[in-house]
């Protein structure tokens, strides 16, 4: 681990404030030293962009002998208290949602921050979150929306659920109630066609692993720690391409510290390998070791699991945390197929040539109407308008950046 620490210091040679933030977030491991007062302003800015300010305040107050200047300390403390109040509000609203869905016999899996804050963190206020995320089965989506609307939630954008939505999206538009509470209704973990040309339904896999239990005093289906770690890794590496802060790094750390004795690592490795997602998992676990001081990889090596990650790829992933303009939402399926013109054309064709029945439902036309076929040209130009600029920008992003492209190819073929 000393060698890992030296590597981390080398990676962040030109970014001392970020390096110091990492140390203050894990004071028991890194034993940080005093830093000049002016550096705290940038440390605070980084903690906000990484979505870890409440965590930073808690660990500084409880575990570190070093405290920031009074003004910065008060800003951190206020941020922590505001987050505590917000999390309590979200917990209250989720409890109402779970109760209402239970009355309709709709099973629910709480996801991400809301479940982690209340089950693995020492104090729920340590974990920053913006909204409530819940997973329901695809066939329960429409009745779930009716339940949400009965509780005062309204969709923030128009929506229409059909077979295309099921495959190319993974959650509803954000639903918001009068108090400003935001909720996302998931039926999958990431877009099915974002992971493979065949469409990979991780939501179905999560339902196979979930067990019925209670959460916040209400009936809910709960995921085992191994699947929670898997979800954190996928959200960090694939869903947000390492550019949405470091919350998942500390989620994995907390899950490991609390459940290392009962995590089924062999099942987790086998699951990830079978799905072609072993490298996203392993680089997320390695980054957790590097940034927090855990020894997950060392323990995996003891039971025969190895994954050699080139150091320049670790450097690249850490750099993604710190830059403001990143390669977010690189299409997984396009990288897998080398993004050739034929692959792009085939993917585009699948989106256009939906069945007449699907087109009839999607565009709310009478059954058998000739206008169904007139909608195909409209759909073509609509999709071209929506997706062509993004694809062009991604091609430009990769042009002249062979090392970047190599990283994403390596990662997504894992």
Using one digit for the tens of pLDDT, what is the confidence trace for 58-83? 999 988 888 899 999 999 999 999 99
For residue 334, pLDDT beyond 50:
no
Output the pLDDT for position 191: 73
- Please give the backbone phi and psi of residue 292, each rounded to the nearest 5 degrees, phi first: -125, -20
Output the pLDDT for position 134: 97
- Under the banding of pLDDT at 50, 70 and 90, the label for residue 251 is very high
- Under the banding of pLDDT at 50, 70 and 90, the label for residue 393 is low
Structure tokens at 92: 């209250």
- Quick check: helix, strand or coil at residue 183? strand
For residue 165, pLDDT beyond 80:
no
- Under the banding of pLDDT at 50, 70 and 90, the label for residue 330 is very low
- Interatomic CA distance for residues 198 and 241, integer angstroms: 22
Output the pLDDT for position 240: 83
For residue 2, pLDDT beyond 60:
no
Range of weakest confidence among 70-79, 134-143, 167-176: 167-176
For residue 404, pLDDT beyond 50:
yes
For residue 336, pLDDT beyond 70:
no
Q: Map out the domains of the chain as residue ranges.
A: 332-412
Residue range 193-207, pLDDT digits in tens: 566 555 578 888 999
Range of weakest confidence among 91-95, 300-304, 385-389: 385-389
For residue 376, pLDDT beyond 70:
yes
Percent of the chain topping pLDDT 70: 81
The pTM score is 0.84
Query: In what side-by-side order are the strands of the sheet with 175-176?
Result: 109-111, 132-135, 182-186, 175-176, 154-155
Output the pLDDT for position 335: 45
- Under the banding of pLDDT at 50, 70 and 90, the label for residue 162 is confident
| Total residue length of the chain | 414
For residue 400, pLDDT beyond 60:
no
Strand segments (E) across 73-161: 109-111, 132-135, 154-155
- Averaged pLDDT for residues 42-48: 93
User: CB-based contacts of 2: which residues, under 8 Å, 6+ apart?
Assistant: none
Output the pLDDT for position 396: 52
Range of weakest confidence among 15-19, 98-102, 296-300: 15-19
Instruction: Give one DSSP letter per residue of 162-174, joined into a string.
Output: SHHHHHH-SBPPP
- Under the banding of pLDDT at 50, 70 and 90, the label for residue 292 is very high
Output the pLDDT for position 6: 43
Output the pLDDT for position 254: 96
Output the pLDDT for position 331: 46
Quote the mean pLDDT of the chain.
Answer: 84
- Interatomic CA distance for residues 91 and 117, integer angstroms: 10
- Interatomic CA distance for residues 84 and 82, integer angstroms: 5
User: CB-based contacts of 193: which residues, under 8 Å, 6+ apart?
Assistant: 167, 168, 199, 333, 347
For residue 359, pLDDT beyond 80:
no
Percent of the chain topping pLDDT 90: 49
Output the pLDDT for position 31: 83
**Residue 143: which H helix or E strand, with range?**
helix 141-150
Range of weakest confidence among 230-239, 241-250, 335-344: 335-344
Q: Output b/e per residue, 63-75; b: 16+ Cβ within 10 A.
A: ebeeebeeeebeb
Output the pLDDT for position 1: 43
Name the one residue in this structure whose structure tokens are 């699948």.
Answer: 350
CB-CB contact of 211 with 224 (8 Å): yes
């Amino acid at each position: 681990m000393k060698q890992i620490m030296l590597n981390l210091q080398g990676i962040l040679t030109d970014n001392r404030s970020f390096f110091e933030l990492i140390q203050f977030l894990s004071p028991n491991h890194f034993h940080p030293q005093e830093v000049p007062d002016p550096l705290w302003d940038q440390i605070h800015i980084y903690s906000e962009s990484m979505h870890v300010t409440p965590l930073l305040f808690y660990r500084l107050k409880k575990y570190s002998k070093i405290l920031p200047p009074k003004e910065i300390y008060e800003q951190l403390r206020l941020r922590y208290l505001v987050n505590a109040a917000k999390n309590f509000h979200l917990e209250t609203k989720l409890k109402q949602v779970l109760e209402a869905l239970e009355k309709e016999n709709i099973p629910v899996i709480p996801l991400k921050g809301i479940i982690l804050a209340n089950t693995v963190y020492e104090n729920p206020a340590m974990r920053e979150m913006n909204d409530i995320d819940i997973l329901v089965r695809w066939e329960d989506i429409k009745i779930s929306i009716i339940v949400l609307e009965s509780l005062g939630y309204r969709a923030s954008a128009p929506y229409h659920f059909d077979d295309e939505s099921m495959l190319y999206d993974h959650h509803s538009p954000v639903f918001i109630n009068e108090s400003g509470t935001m909720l996302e209704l998931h039926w999958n973990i990431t877009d099915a066609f974002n992971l493979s040309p065949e469409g990979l339904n991780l939501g179905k896999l999560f339902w196979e692993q979930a067990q019925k239990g209670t959460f916040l005093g209400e009936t809910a289906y709960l995921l085992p720690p191994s699947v929670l770690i898997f979800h954190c890794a996928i959200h960090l590496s694939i869903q947000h391409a390492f550019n949405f802060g470091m919350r998942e790094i500390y989620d994995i750390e907390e899950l490991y510290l609390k459940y290392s004795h009962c995590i089924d690592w062999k099942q987790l490795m086998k699951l990830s390998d079978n799905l072609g997602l072993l490298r996203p998992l392993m680089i997320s676990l390695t980054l957790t070791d590097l940034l927090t001081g855990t020894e997950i990889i060392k323990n995996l090596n003891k039971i025969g699991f190895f994954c050699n990650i080139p150091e320049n790829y670790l450097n690249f992933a850490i750099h993604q945390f710190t830059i403001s303009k990143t390669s977010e939402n690189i299409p997984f399926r396009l990288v897998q197929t080398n993004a050739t013109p034929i692959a792009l054309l085939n993917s585009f064709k699948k989106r256009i040539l939906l069945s007449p029945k699907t087109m009839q439902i999607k565009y709310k036309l009478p059954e058998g109407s000739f206008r169904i076929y007139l909608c195909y040209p409209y759909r073509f130009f609509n999709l071209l308008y929506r997706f062509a600029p993004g694809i062009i920008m991604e091609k430009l992003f990769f042009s002249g950046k062979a090392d970047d492209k190599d990283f994403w190819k390596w990662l997504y073929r894992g």
